[in-house]
């Protein structure tokens, strides 16, 4: 890939040359088009939209229009990162202990990774793996 953000994108665990190229192809390589990570998450269908009517509130659904390929990039990278990256594995395990199913936990991880990738591209720095914080014991 020959784009200014190639090194940053490829530094994320779970995003290799193929998924990185798909990400660049579907975003155009210019993040300013989206304006915010929330807008990008909406395009990738990682941000649910409300489906409220009348007295019913709190129902969320997938947007009608979204980029399936962009969703695939983040979903597949989250699948790999949940097994290989210690930080992502800790986040995935936390979501599972909260009672979420596998698919819900992976989608939550994909959204988290989208936000991290956005911040890395914005700041122009590469991903660095750090150990997840250990629980503090009192006593």
**76 Cβ contact list (under 8 Å, min separation 6):** 14, 19
3 — pLDDT class (breaks 50, 70, 90): confident
Based on C-alpha coordinates, what's the Rg of the chain?
16
Question: Using CA atoms, how far apart are residues 69 and 135, in angstroms rounded to an integer?
Answer: 37
pLDDT in tens, 36-85: 888 888 888 887 766 667 676 666 656 666 778 898 999 999 999 999 99
Conformational region of residue 130, where left means phi above 0, alpha means psi within -120 to 50, and beta covers everything else: beta
- Between 83 and 4, the higher pLDDT residue: 83
Q: From 110, 48, 101, 104, select the one nearest 79 (Cα to Cα).
A: 110
């Amino acid at each position: 890939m020959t784009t200014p953000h190639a090194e940053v994108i490829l530094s994320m665990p779970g995003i290799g040359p193929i998924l990185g190229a798909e990400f660049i192809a579907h975003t155009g390589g210019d993040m300013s088009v989206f304006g915010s990570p929330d807008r990008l998450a909406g395009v990738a269908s990682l941000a649910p939209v409300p489906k409220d009517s009348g007295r019913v509130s709190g129902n969320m659904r997938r947007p009608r229009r979204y980029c399936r390929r962009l969703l695939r990039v983040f979903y597949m990278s989250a699948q790999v990162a949940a097994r290989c990256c210690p930080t992502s594995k800790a986040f995935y395990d936390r979501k599972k202990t909260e009672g979420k199913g596998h698919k819900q936990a992976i989608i939550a991880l994909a959204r988290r990774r989208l936000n991290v990738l956005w911040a890395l591209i914005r700041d122009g720095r590469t991903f660095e793996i750090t150990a997840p914080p250990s629980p503090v014991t009192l006593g």
